[in-house]
Structure 1
Amino acid sequence: MSAQVVEFPRKEPSLAPILSLTATAMNSVNSVILDRMQSEIPLIPALAGHLISGGGKRMRPMLTLAGAELVGYGGTRHHRLAAAVEFIHTATLLHDDVVDGSETRRGKETANIVFGNPATVLVGDFLFSRAFELMVEDGSLKVLKILSGASAIIAQGEVDQLVAQRRIETSEERYLSIIGRKTAALFAAASRISAVVAECSEEEEEALDAYGRNLGIAFQLVDDAIDYDTGTAEMGKDKGDDFREGKMTLPVILAYARGDAEERLFWQDAIAGFRIEDEDLEHATRLIQRHDAIAATRERARHYAQRACDALSIFPENKARAAMVEAAQFAVSRGY
């Protein structure tokens, strides 16, 4: 009699390895963040703290810390630079919520709702300034060039997204260009600077850049899928925000391209802002499900996540590399 094959349940990818890998260094980063968000103007730390304490994954600074572990960096410069990365990210979130008119993020009221738009924009500017102070204090012109360049690219991506808003003709190519700028640029820069402070080769810098860039695209693709996925848990912003704001994300682009004439008319009205009620969102979600647009979006995310993992192949196999690979796998499989 042949032996019975026992199949063990497949372990779901998790952020636990990268969280464990970077935990000690992240404590130092958090100390820098707490110190540098202080001001003699009480509104500034109150508003900044409202968002920073909101329970985000801190993915971007985590990449700087994990990259430093990967290349064996033994110093502490990356702690302050990781804080600069988080300040850049937080500033963009504050500005985004004002531009989008968002009301909640991670289950909490957004800063613009609590404190008003003018204060939110100005505190975002304050955090950008703190980020640049930290870069200058580091003293590396190369680091300054990478992070300042990323900041400019993010702004261009946000402007391009604004221009593309409510434009049904937005192509998949343009969509990928937008998310490559507004999301992936900071992932790439955050990863690359760890190789710079460790004085690694150009090849290693580019490998970490490619890891972060592809991870960032995968991460945003999944975010955009989650916005229409009724089977997922709560995410960072209100479910349906993208729909009501007329954003042409990949699930919509695919559903529109695959739809019949009647469905296309619905999408044209919805993206133009004429169909934004709850029942319209439900109908949009059904159409997206009907044409497997969420599955297709996640499949594209898996492609970019694999490219991120492949970029790390030039580094020796170690605990840091395994954690970064699993973080990329988690980015695709997550439901929040």
Structure 2
Amino acid sequence: MGLDTPKDKPHDRLAALLTDDMGQVNALIRERMASKHAPRIPEVTAHLVEAGGKRLRPLLTLAAARMCGYAGEDHTKLAATVEFIHTATLLHDDVVDESSKRRGRPTANLLWDNKSSVLVGDYLFARAFQLMVEPGDLRVLDILSNAAATIAEGEVLQLTAAQDLRTNEEIYLQVVRGKTAALFSAATEVGGVIAGVEEAQIRALFDYGDALGIAFQIADDLLDYQGESTATGKNVGDDFRERKLTLPVIKAVAAADAEERAFWARTIEKGDQRDGDLDHALALLDRHGALDATRADARGWADKAKSSLEALPRTELRDVLIDLADFVVARLY
């Protein structure tokens, strides 16, 4: 999901507050994505890393650490770790999804090939594990390694759940926690751990990242059915055409009569899509209030993210993180 509107962007304010730290993270990323023996590795990695992403996840790590009073330098290694894990999953996801575009540019698997994308993704995972070990904190290693495993588990779960009408909101939430929220929560949690704050604050940081990630993904899924392609980088209905059972459709299926369920079974489970089906799907979502209910869920998770920060020190960084939670769902209204 893009974070380009409205004009006042909390992630840009976050980057401005953390300019020096982020500069060190970017330098570390460029250094560690190098390879003496396989020049394709930095070629493929640079294509994605330098593609203009917002670096939101490493910014969350830096912000959490600094907000908690951390004065060392290991947080930059953890932030780079988070970005490497994220980049590796993007490379793998584009192969799995057979994607041709990301962030408005051709994907690595299209420019090179699937083998290069998978193997370079594996290399970045290895680099991530090297980096997360360097601070010498076993708890940090436990959090980030568990996040990497949870992400993979969530992606595999999505393979079986995405086109199965038996998928309910509980399973959907499990998928979202895996593929999106796990890295958000790990990113914020390790910032508190490296700063050595009390357990209640570490838990608050985890809760913030978890809720923010869930709100982020729900908003992304909702915008697929109501967003503008210029703002989202996607066409309305892409998830429907790709037969992805996301939250708006799950809500509509739960309320469907026999005829409506047969429509969803044909279009999502069987992949038999015809002219006019997207318009009919949108009508069903509207009929059952699925879009409004999904919007309310996203807002609820954003509110939970904000309330989690009450246990953290009152700083400018905390204020920006609160604004970020609002910003993630601002375009839904």
**Normalization by structure 1: what TM-score?**
0.91
Amino acid at match of 1:25: D
Q: What residue number does 1:18 align with?
A: 14
Instruction: Report how far residue 35 of structure 1 moved.
Output: 1.1
> Match for 1:28: what amino acid?
Q
Q: Deviations over 1:35-93 (max 9, x none)?
A: 11111322111111111122222211111011112111111111111000000011111
1:59 is matched with 56
Q: Which aligned pairs between 1:304-319 and structure 2 lie closer than 5 A?
A: 304-319=301-316
The residue aligned with 1:79 is: 76
Aligned with residue 133 of structure 1, among 117, 127, 130: 130
Is 2:205–2:308's contact at 8 Å kept on the other side of the alignment? yes
Q: Which amino acid aligns with 1:331?
A: V
Between 224-233 and 65-74, the greater mean CA deviation after superposition: 224-233
1:210 & 1:164 partners in 2: Cα distance? 25
Bigger mean CA offset, 257-266 vs 34-43 = 257-266
Distance 2:23 2:179 in 1: 27
Could you say if the C-alpha distance between residues 13 and 90 of structure 1 is closer, same or farther in structure 2, counting changes exceeding 3 Å?
closer
Aligned equivalents of 2:47 and 2:9: distance in 1?
30
> Could you say if the C-alpha distance between residues 273 and 240 of structure 1 is closer, same or farther in structure 2, counting changes exceeding 3 Å?
farther
Amino acid aligned to 1:33: I
Please state how far the C-alpha of 1:268 moved relative to its aligned partner. 1.0
Equivalences for 1:1-336 in 2 at 5 Å? 14-40=10-36, 41-231=38-228, 233-235=230-232, 239-276=236-273, 279-334=276-331
Amino acid at match of 1:306: D
Deviation of the 1:231 alpha carbon: 4.0
Query: What amino acid sits opposite 2:85 in the alignment?
Result: I
Q: Distance in 1 between matches of 2:21 and 2:228?
A: 35
Q: For residue 35 of structure 1, what is the amino acid of its counterpart?
A: E
Cα distance, 1:13 vs structure 2: 6.7
Residues 161 and 317 of structure 1: CA distance in aligned 2, closer, same or farther (over 3 Å): same
Equivalent residue, structure 2, for 1:3 = none
The number of residue pairs the alignment matches comes to 326
Secondary structure of the structure 1 residue equivalent to 2:244: coil
- Gapped regions of structure 2 (runs ≥ 5): 1-5
Partner amino acid, structure 2, of 1:122: L
Task: Confirm or deny: 8 A CA contact 1:104 1:237 kept in the other structure.
Answer: no
Shift in Å at residue 183 of structure 1?
1.0
TM superposition shift of 1:148: 0.2
Alignment CA distance shift 1:18-1:249 (3 Å): same
Tell me if structure 2 keeps the 8 A contact 1:225–1:298: yes
> For 1:317 and 1:301, how far apart are their aligned partners in 2?
25
Shift of residue 303, structure 1, vs aligned partner: 0.7
Q: 1:233 to 1:295 in 2, by over 3 A?
A: farther
Task: Report the Cα distance in structure 1 between the residues aligned to 2:181 and 2:117, rounded to whole angstroms.
Answer: 24
Deviation at 1:259, TM superposition (A): 3.6
| Alpha-carbon contact 1:180-1:216 (below 8 Å) kept | yes
Cα contact 1:160–1:178 (8 A) shared by 2: yes
Distance in 2 (alpha carbons) for counterparts of 1:221 and 1:70: 27
Deviation of 1:170 after TM superposition, in Å, equals 0.6
How far residue 230 of structure 1 moved from its aligned partner, in angstroms, is 4.1
Report what 2:3 is aligned to.
none
Change (3 A) 1:47 1:250: same
Query: Contact 1:165 / 1:245 at 8 angstroms: preserved in 2?
Result: no
**One-letter amino acid of the structure 2 residue matched with residue 43 of structure 1:** R
Go from structure 1 to structure 2 and tell me whether the alpha carbon gap of 1:160 and 1:269 turns closer, same or farther (over 3 Å shift): same
Tell me if the contact between 1:13 and 1:329 (Cα under 8 Å) persists in the aligned partners: no
- 1:142 is displaced (CA, Å) by 1.0
Query: Structure 2 vs 1, CA of residues 277 and 121 (structure 1 numbering), >3 Å: closer, same or farther?
Result: farther
